[in-house]
Amino acid sequence: GGSQIGNCAIINTAAVIEHECVIDDFVHVAPGAIVCGNVQIGNDTHIGAGSVVKQEIKIGTGAMIGAGSVVINDIGNHATAYGNPCKEV
């Protein structure tokens, strides 16, 4: 429903991309990750296995989200973030 998936993006097994998301180029959404509605993910970003990204979140370019994270706040460019709740380190 209105989502856009960029060039060379990888959406792995059992990953979910919901409505109105913008997934930029070279993004990797690992197995079992859930990306809720109206999320924006910048180029060259990795969303770890089993992670959940809450609706209306923005994740910057070149970010790395650790496995099993629960993203409830925006994540900046080139950040490494993980945990529940997910925090930049």
Catalytic residue of the set 19, 28, 46, 78: 19
The answer to whether residues 64 and 87 touch, using CB atoms and an 8 Å cutoff, is no
Distance, in Å, from the CA atom of 66 to the CA atom of 20, rounded to the nearest integer, reads 23
3-state secondary structure of 11: strand
Helix (H) or strand (E) holding 64: strand 64-65
- Concerning whether 19 is annotated as a catalytic residue, the answer is yes
Query: Catalytic residue positions?
Result: 19
